[in-house]
Structure 1
Amino acid sequence: MPPKIEPSLAEQKNMVLTGASRGIGHATVKLFSDAGWRIITCSRQRFDSDLCPWNSGADDHVEVDLSDYRALPGAIAEIKERLGGLPLHALINNAGLSPKNDEGGRLTSLTTPVDTWMSVFHVNFLAPILLARGLFDELNDGAGTVVNVTSIAGSRVHPFAGTAYATSKAALACLTREMAHDFAPYGIRVNAIAPGEIKTDILSPETEAMLVPVIPMRRIGTPDEVAKVIYFLCSDAASYVTGEEIKINGGQHV
């Protein structure tokens, strides 16, 4: 087998992804990294080389608390510095905040504290548009694509996701359409994916057993399956797809 030839910086595609430390974000970074993309990750945590063994991970990680909109300009400046004038081909807004009450249950519209509403909307709704606007020139140079990660909870009351999370994801779906309209003249596509029940570390066996019977495919989805849809949306195969929200839920909505 011939040795793998690494692409030059000018040829390599570049991505920015929020929320890469686990689940869907982790699987997405691995898939794109294996395909030769360079990924700049953003999260509240420091880069962990044991959990995230992709090339240049420590050099291409930006620590930022997306719940504080005042931290975004500094993070955007760091991302631009790491890009070094190169184009940005994809922005994946995957980070999400879904707080629970003290017993681990859902926070309702009657019980969600005001500060929690603000934090959730800053992470789930405001950060995606601020990042896209702040990195607009780089996306424009790369004829890039934006993928916003919404949720099945954005269109129906969910047994575990709280009100602030659900409404922020519904707002993000609407924002996706607005962004698609506004960014299209510049050759930038904007889409969303709405995952249903996906097997991650936070999904308990009891929860999985309760949800599987209501899913027509009779199983929970995997992060890899979601990552592959994101990859499609960032590829030339989706070159005429914009303003869409693709549901990934095993038929749970049918």
Structure 2
Amino acid sequence: MIENTDNERKTLILTGASRGIGHATVKRFSSAGWRVITCSRHGFPENCPWDAGPEDHIQLDLANPGDVKRAIHEMRERLQANGSRLNALVNNAAISPKGPGGSRLAAMDMDVEDWTTVFQINLFAPIMLGRGLLEELKAAKGSVVNVTSIAGGKVHPFAGAAYSTSKAALFALTREMAHDFGPLGVRVNAISPGEIETSILSPGTEKLIVDIPMRRLGQPEEVAKAIYFLCTDASSYVNGAELHINGGQHV
């Protein structure tokens, strides 16, 4: 059902759209009538899993700061078609390097260069995109949603030290952005997923179900609904929040 009743079609820019939470988010917003501009390291695939086209996809290497700057310029050009307004930016893309068999990489297990790459993708790219698209977000009184993680608040059996600390820093960044962007009419929030059933789950994740009060894994669609909530008027006075989506695992 098309839910977008505004005269102007709303627009979302989303990183990490090809699978899991990102794919479900594209479907949720598209079903509500939004235009979704997707971003990934790869070009638009012929067998695309979401309803879009090359005109709504931007090839972008978030690990390369120069390419992020280049992509921001391209995004702004794409947005000119709807009056340079951006209703929502969702920073979903992230990397979580693993050891053999999907094992956790401890603080001493990764080279500094790899730590730098993790932080560039998981932390620095979101602030680069938020700052680079601020005028477009202001024009729409838009929202930013950063995807953090339950691993940002405690040591996780599978998420490595670099990933976990980058996600903790991303919520701290969310707080700072909410403070700084709020007076400009732009809300900034975060969602913190727990164990979500996607194709990239580490082996052994099912053993964590006993620690989840709801006794099941979450579904990508459940996370997408929360992201949608934070990007619409239903959350018009929510700013600087981190919404836990983990079936109560954090308690």
TM-score (normalizing by structure 1): 0.93
- For 1:44 and 1:53, the matched residues in 2 are separated by 16
TM-superposed deviation, 1:51: 3.5
- 2:38 aligns to what? 41
**Deviations 1:22-79 (CA, angstroms, capped at 9, x unpaired):** 0000000011011100011111122224232313x32111111101112111100111
TM-superposed deviation, 1:104: 2.8
- For 1:152 and 1:5, the matched residues in 2 are separated by 31
- 2:125 aligns to what? 127
- 1:237 aligns to what? 234
- For 2:110 and 2:2, the matched residues in 1 are separated by 52
5+ unaligned residues in a row in structure 2: which ranges?
none
For 1:54, which of 33, 51, 54 is the aligned residue?
51
**Does structure 1 retain, via aligned residues, the 8 Å contact 2:97–2:105?**
yes
TM-superposed deviation, 1:207: 2.2
**Does structure 2 retain, via aligned residues, the 8 Å contact 1:145–1:189?**
yes
Q: Does 1:15 align with 2:12?
A: yes
Amino acid at match of 1:202: I
Amino acid at match of 2:219: T
- 2:78 aligns to what? 82
**Does structure 2 retain, via aligned residues, the 8 Å contact 1:106–1:160?**
yes
Please give the residue correspondences for 1:1-254 in structure 2 after superposition, counting only pairs within 5 Å.
11-55=8-52, 57-84=53-80, 85-203=83-201, 207-254=204-251
Which stretch shifts more, 107-116 or 214-223? 107-116
RMSD: 1.9
TM-superposed deviation, 1:86: 2.6
Per the alignment, do residues 6 and 160 of structure 1 end up closer, same or farther by CA in structure 2, a change over 3 Å counting? closer
Amino acid at match of 2:67: A
**Does structure 2 retain, via aligned residues, the 8 Å contact 1:49–1:58?**
no
TM-superposed deviation, 1:149: 0.1
Amino acid at match of 1:166: S
- For 1:210 and 1:4, the matched residues in 2 are separated by 39
Runs of 4+ in 1 over 4 A off after TM superposition: 3-8
Aligned residues: 249
Give % identity.
Answer: 58
- For 1:4 and 1:217, the matched residues in 2 are separated by 31
- For 1:216 and 1:5, the matched residues in 2 are separated by 33
TM-score (normalizing by structure 2): 0.94
